[in-house]
Amino acid sequence: MAKTVTSKVKTTQTTTVVKEKTTKPKKETKTKKTAVAKSKTSAKVIQTEVSQKTPEKVSAKPVSADKKPKTMEELLSQADYSLVVPKKGGVLKGIITVKKKKSLIVDLGAKTEGIVSDKEYDFASEFIKDLNEGDEISALVVSSENDRGQVVLSLRSAASDAKWEYFEQAQENDEILEAKGVEVNRGGLIVVVNGVRGFVPSSQFGREFIGKINQLAGETIEVKAIEVDREKNRLIFSERHVSEAKELSQKDEALKKVVDGEVYEGVVSGVMHFGLFVTVEVPVDDKKDKKGNPENIGYVEGLIHISEISWEKVNHPKDYHNVGDRLKVRVLGVDERTNKLNLSIKQLQDDPWITIGEKYPTGTTFTGKVTRAEAFGVFVNVEPGVDGLIHSSKLDPTKELHPGDEVTVNVENVVPEQRRMSLSVVLTEAPMGYK
């Protein structure tokens, strides 16, 4: 039995040893594989980190033949470049590359260059003379291609905008500008300033030029811009704002001194069909010169409406006064919107209708001149500012009366409050057949 047990034990031990020898090599093999795997993994991680940190190396790889641009569109898209396509009527921005005496070459970023020449250049020449190579401009496309393949451009709009901005700035800064007289009309003088036509009204000339405006065609004068309105295309200048700047600077003070109903002296500065413009002289203080005249005077513009020139009917103001005439006026009020005075000449005298009833009571006979003939009757002048009416029913149908004809009439009725006087014709010849 003992032998048998021993034998089993040995067998067991032997088996154990064998197992141990067999197991150890297997464990070593797994460890090596794991180490190799970890090593490869670490290498991949390191390679990935390097790739993330240095993208330029990746982008620097050559593009395969399949991805190379084959058309202009593909090339432009890869270069992130957009091509400008000029269209007639469109407005494009560009850089001046060449400036010549009669043309401008402009880089529009298009397949071909743009050009400003001929009439378009001449029109904007004043604007172009201040431009230089390298300046950016906006231009209107007149034609997408001329016979040389160039885009034809216009700077009219840009030039016009620049000129309006020039005058707006000049008005804001109260700058003195040079104006050349071009043409004289009834309202004043047409001038050219910085290549643009404007207007100087008769009322905007100083005393030095009153009555001499007709001599200014072709002459150069100094002016200031007083109205710049690009929407209405209005450009108004004033010579007075240069020659009488001191007096006009006292305008606000003079306006405060104006008294309604007061009589002032003034000079006719303009004659229009609707009335007379007058430059009114208003003392701003009580100082007098050696001759006793006001030392400090402010000039305020005013208008005498045609209805305020005379008590009689006025056909045209020029029949009564001319530019340069000195006269007295009565102030009726101040136009708060324009700060101009409403004036009157006729208010310097009493209304003739107030006393006409006393002068020409019913039954009075007098001879007057026909002033106008209407379908309903004929008007006869009684005295300045008063006309009487001969109704058509009281006229001799066989004898027609015309303006200027003298006629003897009889006063039938006078209503001063309604400014009405009824007349009838006095027979100066015996009717035919009367004995």
Question: CA dihedral defined by 129, 134, 138, 140, rounded to 10 degrees?
Answer: 80
Read off the pLDDT of residues 379-424 as tens digits, 9 standing for 90 and up: 999 988 899 999 999 998 888 899 999 999 999 999 999 999 999 9
Q: Fold match between 91-160 and 245-348?
A: yes
175-241 in CATH: which number?
A: 2.40.50.140
* 351 or 46, higher pLDDT: 351
- Look at residue 307 and tell me whether its pLDDT is greater than 60: yes
Residue 22 pLDDT class (50, 70, 90 cuts): very low
Interior CA angle at 423 toward 419 and 427, to 5°? 165
Q: 3-class SS at 108?
A: coil
**Rounded Cα gap, residues 411 and 361, in angstroms:** 7
pLDDT of residue 425: 92
Q: Which CATH number fits domain 245-348: 2.60.40.10, 2.40.50.140, 1.20.120.160, 3.30.420.40?
A: 2.40.50.140
Instruction: Give the count of beta carbons closer than 10 Å to the beta carbon of residue 433.
Output: 5
Contact 331, 258 (CB under 8 A): yes
Q: Which CATH number fits domain 359-425: 2.60.40.10, 3.30.460.10, 2.40.50.140, 3.30.750.24?
A: 2.40.50.140
- Look at residue 187 and tell me whether its pLDDT is greater than 90: no
The string over 135-174, giving b where at least 16 C-beta atoms fall within 10 Å of a residue's C-beta and e elsewhere, is eebebbbbebeeeeebbbbbbbebbbebbbebbeebbeee
Residue 346 pLDDT class (50, 70, 90 cuts): very high
Residue 369 pLDDT class (50, 70, 90 cuts): very high
Q: Which contacts (CB < 8 Å, 24+ apart) does range 104-111 have?
A: 104/128, 104/131, 104/153, 104/155, 106/137, 106/139, 106/153, 108/84, 108/151, 109/83, 109/84, 110/83, 110/84, 110/85, 110/86, 110/151, 111/83
* 360 or 144, higher pLDDT: 360
pLDDT of residue 1: 41
CATH architecture of 91-160: Beta Barrel (2.40)
| Mean pLDDT computed over 124-148 | 86
Residue 107 pLDDT class (50, 70, 90 cuts): very high
Per-domain residue ranges of the chain: 2-59, 91-160, 175-241, 245-348, 359-425
Read off the pLDDT of residues 209-239 as tens digits, 9 standing for 90 and up: 877 888 999 999 999 999 999 888 899 999 9
pLDDT of residue 11: 40
Choice among 52-66, 193-207, 354-368, 404-418 with the minimum mean pLDDT:
52-66
pLDDT of residue 59: 43
